[in-house]
Structures are given as structure tokens and as C-alpha cells.
Amino acid sequence: MRPRAEWSSPARWRQVLLPFLMSLFCGALPDQIRYSIPEELAKNSVVGNLAKDLGLSVRDLPARKLRVSAEKEYFTVNPESGDLLVSDRIDREQICGKKSLCILDFDTVAENPLNIFHVAVLVQDINDNTPVFKHNKIDLKIGESTKPGKTFPLDPALDSDAGPNSLQRYHLNDNEHFDLSEKQTPNGHKYPELILKHFLDREKQSFHQLVLTAVDGGDPPQSGTTQIQIQVTDANDNPPVFNQDIYKVSLQEGVPRGFSVLRVTATDQDEGVNAEITYSFHNVDELVEQFFNLDKTTGEITTKDYFDFETANSYTLSVEAKDPGDLAAHCSIQVEILDENDCAPEVMMTSIFTPLPEDSPPGTVVALIKTRDRDSGENGEVYCSILGKADFILNSYSKNYYKLVTDGPLDREEIPEYNISVMATDRGKPPLSSSISITLHIADVNDNAPVFQQASYVVHVAENNPPGASIAQVSASDPDLGPNGRVSYSIVASDLEPRALASYVSVSAQSGVVFAQRAFDHEQLRAFELTLQARDQGSPALSANVSLRVLVGDRNDNAPRVLYPALGPDGSALFDTVPRAAQPGYLVTKVVAVDADSGHNAWLSYHVLQASEPGLFSLGLRTGEVRTARALGDRDAARQRLLVAVRDGGQPPLSATATLLLVFADSLQEALPDVSERQAPADPQAELQFYLVVALALISVLFLLAVILAVALRLGRSSSPTTWGCLRPGLCVKSGPVVPPNCSEGTLPYAYNLCIASDSQKARLNFRTMTKEMGPPQDLSNEASLEISVTEENNKLSTNSDASVRQAPPNTDWRFSQAQRPGTSGSQNGDETGTWPNNQFDTEMLQAMILASASEAADGSSTLGGGAGTMGLSARYGPQFTLQHVPDYRQNVYIPGSNATLTNAAGKRDGKAPAGGNGSKKKSGKKEKK
């Protein structure tokens, strides 16, 4: 028996045991941050400055996000100071049980960059548990024949503390028959044994009561007691005996319930009732009774529950065999649990970085994965892999840690989201595995420029479109998200002038619809090109351009315009003379018309609507040439009227009309009487001119009367007889050419000669035209002289031509050759039946030629003046007429009735008649009829 002086020195054991344990702890975990704390520390107690021990700066702690990664977090890190704090109750006995060394092993994770640190905290035991016996009272029966030195094992006291604070010794109260000793099981548990010192005499004392005390090694020590009640029985001198003292059994942890572990057998040499043996568990803890069952009669041990190697890998069972005389025998059964691969690996996601930008480079860390397997040996070795084909790989980072990193470039437009399955598999046979699924979202980056649906756009728009109408729509797509994929449209360039662009088109920034801001005119603008830009809202923004060509189509919105024949400025019709000897096919005149449209819309055709003699003239369908269809007969009227319609080729067609007045005469003087007898059409403008002439004539007559009266009064006062000589009969005083002082150009370009005959019944009034010095040279109608005789006898008004002014005879041969026909030169004109050139170039060329001819006539430099051999436009329109608003139609335009072309003939403006004869056309108006 150990001396009591040694039992009362726990400090000496603590001084020896603690350095030994710390040396074991330091040797087993050389690469960890180690701390040592006592159990049951208060919450938020400081274990140590973890940041300082890891070499981290306090200023970097918010960015590094230092935290504890453990299944159950007993500790936490102060984010401001980096101190490791206690966050939960730490009960060493609950965490480590009977283990001599209690270590809390966990990991700490720091980000930016990612680091993992291993921390181990040694939990030191404190004397917070009192030794407690399983039963408050122990009943023993000892036969009186029991020899001294017999031992009786007792149930041990339980103390959850470890080390020096655990149960250290037992002691028994003083008595003369019994003593106490301590024994130790193979697993290191101490239990007391009661030793009989002297024989018992039931007759002297049949009942003994003792007090057993259990004391731990704390400072101060704590203790627990139980009572031992001993009953002395009659003699039963043969106790049961087991076949062996120690049994060893190995079991797989997966054995089912009710599995037979072992059958123990004890024999008793006594006979009868004293030989009946009863089996029971003796000196076992609660776990043994939870997992094992013992048959009291047969001694068979069976399982009651499933074993878990990860919870306990061995059990020690103590079985007692007792006969009715309370003689007992004891044996020990050691059960070893063999590990099976029954725990699948665990996969835990420690950190995940989502959403991940799509421009992340290869090797970017996506997630941090931790694995664990509670099995041992190969059954607990775990390796991870990625299921399926993915753009990610797993890299082993530290013990049981893996990094999930990208293996290539990412493209959100192709794969916006990844479902990554990570499987952990152990190396057991058969292997077990488990997996987790990681959902990784890819964040969008503006890496795609807008793309138009077409490489270029061509739009056909008919002219006269309504303003504000949609003429086209462009569309561009951008596979990016949000503002990176939101496209706006704008016009960045055009072949139009910048100031005019906004008045022509606009584009909707949201929809890409192109609107016409005005009605287009094909005659002004036939095509234009725009450059449209699609731009996203990313930063930086990306854009793309596309060309849009707008073709303005022609519509038949312009009616043909008749250039020849045209009306005079006073609204009177013009006439053409035809020689009486004209043969069939003789070119009389040509109707010249233009159309501002193009293509078929400008393809003109000429038709006769009305004719005085339908069979006398023919009209070219496409050329507009008027020719004689037959020779002039005696019964044919000298005056002919043709109403010609000019139609274009549009749908529906537009048309214009022209009236041709034709007079059969060999000279202009011969044609004038026929024209003067023609009844003027009822025209309001002509009526107004008539009243103006009458008023002017009345004023002139009154003025003459006033002059005559003034002269008569003057002569009456004079006494000279020669003064009235002019009034004698038979005498006539002729005055020279006189221009009235109030006569301006274009008003009354005439001089008057008043002759009074001696016979009061006859008077003659001569009107003479002005000379070229007195009147405007442009008026050819003033070249003729009219003599009007007024006779009271017959009141007859006669008109004679002044023989003093010479009029050139008309050109009788004014046929055109093929090259001299109006229109395009050469063979491009087409034939009489209307083979019109069906292309826009020829049509525009014809219009340009006619415009050039009219422009030269307006300049006064061509033969369209008042001279002979010309078209007589000045004679037709009068001195006030100008051609400044008439387009230029000079090219290849020939004048009917003349062999002259539209060339510079400024020398003919002096009034001299050319060799070819006089002009053959004359304007008919109200003045001639008067």
C-alpha cells in the first residue's frame, strides 16, 4: 500500500506531468500556432493575439478577413485587434472525455491573398468535477469461512477530470477486519479492492459498515464517499472459477444488433444450490451496458447497438460469476472494434467567389473546398475530382484543402452560369464518395461590340412621301447584359450637307427607325447615303457603323410642259404659215414638250384631239412633228386649227394641251388679213386690253381736239393770211416723225400725220409706224405701216401696207433633215411611229437641248429675234416679253419655215432682212383686229 504522504503531493505530479505532455504536444504538431488555456473560460476571454503570431498587421485585418474555419467554432477572431477569443463554453470533459491530452485543432483562413493557418489549442483541465461513486451504497456478503487476504473488487468512483485533477486515491475508514488497496485495469482505470485482514465470525458480528472515500488531485482536493455494508454469511467455501481471466475479441463495426460476441463460463466445485452461478457485468461504465448485453444464466454476451469505430475503437468488459453463497469470480473481456469504410467523405465549401467577371485570367481562384473522412487508414484518405467537362481544375492547397481555379478564358455570352460538381472519394474497398454542386455565375463585361443584322442597307422610297414617315429600320444586337448590351443609334456621316441633313432624315436612338423629315423630290434628290452608328452603354463604350443608301423613286407627279407653241404675253395664240404649194410630208411645225419626271413617267406621246381638217395633217406619236398628210386643195380653208394633247407614260398618265394655228399663205402679208378676220377668243385679259386701247384712243382724240382747238384760236387771233394756208382746200401739211413727249417705250410707238382736205366732206388720217430710231427694235409688228383712211362719204376704214418698209418673203423650204429634227441629235430621235429612247439619259439630253435653245433666245443672241429666217419669238411676244424664266432648249432646235439654226445672229438685230427671206409667223391679237 502506497504511503499517504505521497498521495497528498499533487503539485509534484503536476510539475512532472505537464512538461511531459507539452513535449509530446510540441513534437506532434510542429507546424501549428499553439495556445494553452484552461477549460471553462468565460466568453470573449482572450486566448492570444492571433494576428501578431501570424505576422499580420492590424491595419490589414479588414482586408484579409481573418476568420476561424471549424465544425464547431469555440473560438472567434476579433476583426479589429486580431485577438483569438473564446466564443463558446469549453468543457474539457465533454470535448475530450477521458483523453489525457485535449487539443482543439482548427484552421484560420485569411483572404487577399488566400492563406490557411493551422491552430491548436491545448485545453488544460481544471478541478471542476468531484469524484462520484456509481452507487451510494455497496452491499457485500462474505462467508464466515472466508480466509484472510481475500480481496473483493469494488465499483470505482468516476471523475471526469484528467491529469492531476482526476481521481488519485481511495481510503477506508479505520476498522479491524478490512483494509483497502488500489488496482488498475489494463486501460489505466483505478478501482478499489476490499481486503479481509481477519476471519469473520458471523455469531460475533454479522454486519459490518464501512465508508469508502475517493479523493482527486486538485488544489484543494475534492472527494466523494459511498457506504459499504457487509453481511457475514454462512460458509460456502468453493467460489466459482472462470476458464481464463482475460478474453480478447475482435468485431467489425458493422455487425448487426444481437450479434453473439462471446460466451463466458465459470465452474463451482460446490454442489447443489451453492453451485448455481449467476453472471453479471462488474465494474463497467455506461457505454458497455449501452452496446453489450449479458445473459445472467448462460454467460453469453451479445450486441445491443451498432458500433461506430469513429466513436470508440475498443471496449473492456468485466464479468462476475457468483454462486448463491455470494462467492464470486471475475474475468476481463477486451473487445476491439475493427474499422470499416462506412463513412463517406465530406465536402465543404469554405469560400466561393461569385459572380466571377468573364475577363478573369486563367488560374483565378473560384472557391476553396475542404474535405474530411472520419474513417481511418486508407478508408480515411480522400481525393477530389470534378465531374464532367468543365473549364475549371482542382489544385491541392493544404491538408484536406483544394482550390477550384479557372482553366481557360470565360465567356458569359456562351455560358452565363456553371454548375460545377466536385466529388470526394476515399480509398476504401469499396470506395465511398460524396459530391457537392457549386453554382458559379459569370459577371458580364463589355467585350462585344454591337453587330448589325446586315452589312449594308438599301432603301427605296417613293417621292412625295409624307413627312415624318418611317422609311427604314436598322437593327443591331449586342449579346452583353444591362448597359453593356443596350444599343442606341445615331447618324454619324452623310453625303448630304450637315445643315441639310437634319431637314431630310432622323433616326430614333432607341428603335433604330429612320424617319423622313420632309417629302422627297426625285427631281431634286435621287439618292443619298447615310452612315449609322450603333453604340452600347458600356464603359468604355463599343460601337459599329453601317451604311444606309436611300434611293428616291420617281412618281408621275409632273405633267408635261409645252414649250412650243406658247401663248403670247397677252394670252393670244400664235400661228404658223404653210406654203400653199406644200407637198405631203412637209414639216409644218413641231410641238416641243418636256417632262420633269424620269423613265416611263417622262416618255411623251403626242395625240391630235381636234382638227379643222382631220385628214390634212399628221402628227408624230413620239416626235411631235406636224406634217402635211396631203396637198392643199381649193376647198380647204386657209386657216386650220389643231388641238394637240401631250401625254406622259405614267400611271395614271398626265397630259397637257397645245393649240396650233396654221395659215396657208405664201407670205406673211398674205397671211395677215386671214388672221385679222379671225374671231378672237373670249379672254378676260383680251377684254381688259380692249378697254385700255379704247380709253387710250379716246384720250388721244381729246388731246388732238384740244390741240386743234388751240391752234384754231391762235390762228384766229393772227392777222397773217399765210397762217391759214394749211387749211386751204387741196393743201395738206405733213409733219415729220414726232414722238409724243409722254410716250414711253412699249406704250404708243406710233407717229400721227393729220391731213385736212379742202373738201370738208373728206378727211384722211394716216398712221405711220415709228422708225427704228423712234421705237423699240424688238417689236417686229412695228415694221409694218398701216394707213387708215376715213371718208365721210362711205365711212370705210381701209388698211394698207406701207411700201416704204420692205418685208422679206418667207422661206418656202423649211423642211428638216433627219439631223435637224428637234430633240436629241442624229438617229437617237426615233421614227415617226414613236420608237422613243427608253432610257433616262436620252430624255435628259433632249430636255437639256431644248433648254439650251430657249436660253439663247432669251439672251437675244440667237435667230429667235425679230429678224427674218427666225422663229419670230420677239414678234410673237412683243417688246415686253423676255425668256429669262424659260429653260435652256437651244441645243439642236430648228425653226419650222426657216433654214436657219439657233446660232449667234446678233448682226440680224439691225432689222435687215436676210437672204433667206422674211419670217413666216405673226401674232394675232386685238390690236390687229382693231
pLDDT digits (tens, 9 = 90+) for 743-793: 333 333 333 333 333 333 333 333 333 333 333 333 333 333 333 333 333
Neighbours of 544 (CB within 10 A): 16
Q: What is the pLDDT of residue 666?
A: 81
Res. 918: pLDDT tops 60: no
d(CA 617, CA 111): 108
Show the CA angle centred on residue 119, arms to residues 115 and 121, nearest 5°: 165
Joined grid coordinates for residue 511:
428603335
Say which residues have a Cβ less than 8 Å from residue 27's Cβ, sequence separation at least 6: none
Q: What's the pLDDT at 299?
A: 92
Q: What is the pLDDT of residue 313?
A: 85
C-alpha 447/C-alpha 540 separation (Å) is 10
Q: Report d(CA 601, CA 595) in Å as an integer.
A: 8
Q: Which amino acid is at 303?
A: T
| DSSP structure class, residue 720 | -
Output Rg (C-alpha) for the chain, integer angstroms: 69
Residue 457 has what pLDDT?
Answer: 95
Residue 622 near residue 605 (C-beta atoms within 8 A) = yes
Task: Determine the pLDDT at residue 787.
Answer: 33
Which three cell numbers mark 376? 481511418
Report strand pairing: 278-281 vs 314-322: antiparallel
Q: If DSSP codes are grouped into helix, strand and coil, which group holds residue 675?
A: helix
State the pLDDT at residue 857: 40
Neighbour count for residue 140 (Cβ, 10 Å)? 18
Across the range 380-398, mean pLDDT stands at: 87
Per residue in 493-535, pLDDT tens? Answer: 999 988 888 899 999 999 999 999 999 999 899 999 999 999 9
Which grid coordinates are listed for 538?
Answer: 458600356
Give the percent of the chain with pLDDT over 90.
Answer: 36
* Residue 264 DSSP symbol: -
Distance CA 485, CA 541 (A): 10
Q: What mean pLDDT do residues 147-173 have?
A: 86
Beta-carbon contacts of residue 174 (< 8 Å; ≥ 6 apart): none
Task: Match 398618265 to its residue by C-alpha cell.
Answer: 653
> pLDDT tens digits, residue range 101-127?
888 888 898 888 888 889 999 988 888
Distances (CA, A) of 802 to 90, 476, 673, 734: 148, 85, 15, 16
Q: Each residue of 871-890: pLDDT tens digit?
A: 333 333 333 333 333 344 33
192 in Cβ contact with 212 (< 8 Å): yes
* pLDDT, tens only, 572-590: 667 888 898 889 999 999 9
Q: How confident is the model at residue 15 (pLDDT cuts 50, 70, 90)?
A: very low
In the three-class reduction of DSSP (H, G, I as helix; E, B as strand; rest coil), residue 929 is classed as helix
Give the mean model confidence (pLDDT) for residues 600-615. 91
Is a pLDDT exceeding 50 seen at residue 838?
A: no
Tens of pLDDT, residue by residue over 533-569, are 999 999 999 999 999 999 999 999 899 999 988 876 7
- Contact criterion met (CB below 8 Å) for 836 and 606: no
Q: Does 643 score more than 90 pLDDT? A: yes
Best mean pLDDT range from 232-241, 495-504, 856-865 = 495-504
Strands (E), 345-486: 346-352, 356-357, 365-372, 382-387, 392-398, 401-406, 417-426, 433-443, 451-452, 456-462, 470-473, 476-477
pLDDT tens track for 675-714: 555 444 555 566 677 888 899 999 999 999 999 999 999 8
pLDDT at 93 over 70: yes
pLDDT for the residue 674? 58
- Amino acid at the residue 721: P
Residue closest to 127 by CA, chosen among 155, 95, 93: 93
Percent of the chain with pLDDT over 70: 71
The DSSP code for 632 is P
Contacts of 697-701 spanning 24+ positions with Cβ under 8 A:
700/748
Residues 6+ apart with CB under 8 A from 241: 266, 267, 268, 269, 329
Cell match 504538431: residue?
29
Q: Are 797 and 789 in contact (CB under 8 A)?
A: yes
Give pLDDT, residue 675. 55
Query: Would you give the DSSP letter of residue 877?
Result: H
CA distance 110 to 775: 115
pLDDT higher than threshold 70 for residue 728: no
Task: Give pTM, 2 decimals.
Answer: 0.48
Query: What is the spatial distance between Cα 857 and Cα 886, in angstroms, rounded to a whole number?
Result: 9
Return the pLDDT at 423: 93
The C-alpha cell at 575 is 400661228
SS3 875: helix
As a whole number of angstroms, the distance between CA 808 and CA 822 comes to 25
Instruction: Give the span between the Cα atoms of 841 and 598, in whole angstroms.
Output: 9
Residue 596 C-beta-side C-alpha neighbours within 13 Å: 12
Q: Quick check: 661 pLDDT over 70?
A: yes
Determine the pLDDT at residue 298. Answer: 92
The mean predicted confidence, pLDDT, of the chain is: 75
Please tell me the predicted confidence (pLDDT) of residue 681.
52
pLDDT band at 339 (very low <50, low <70, confident <90, very high): confident
Q: Which three cell numbers stand for residue 608?
A: 391630235
Cell digits of residue 43: 466568453
Is residue 156 within 8 Å of residue 138, measured between CB atoms?
Answer: no
- Spatial separation of the C-alpha atoms in residues 562 and 854, rounded to whole Å: 13
Helix (H, G, I), strand (E, B) or coil at 470: strand
Residue 853 pLDDT more than 60? no
Question: pLDDT band at 461, cuts 50/70/90?
Answer: very high
Task: Render pLDDT for 443-456 as a digit per residue (tens, 0 to 9).
Answer: 999 999 999 999 99
The CA angle 678-682-687, to the nearest 5 degrees, is 105
Q: Are strands 223-233 and 207-216 parallel, antiparallel or unpaired?
A: antiparallel
At 746 the pLDDT is: 35
pLDDT of residue 375: 85
Residue 651 in grid coordinates: 400611271
Nearest to 899 by CA among 788, 835, 813, 785: 813
User: With bands split at pLDDT 50, 70 and 90, how would you rate the model's confidence at 915?
Assistant: very low
- Rounded to 5 degrees, φ, ψ at 470 are -80, 125
Nearest to 331 by CA among 444, 186, 115: 186
Q: What pLDDT score does 466 carry?
A: 94
> How many CB atoms sit inside 10 A of residue 559's CB?
18
Low-confidence winner among 297-301, 408-412, 735-739 (lowest mean pLDDT): 735-739
pLDDT digits (tens, 9 = 90+) for 183-230: 888 777 788 999 999 888 877 888 899 999 999 888 889 899 999 999
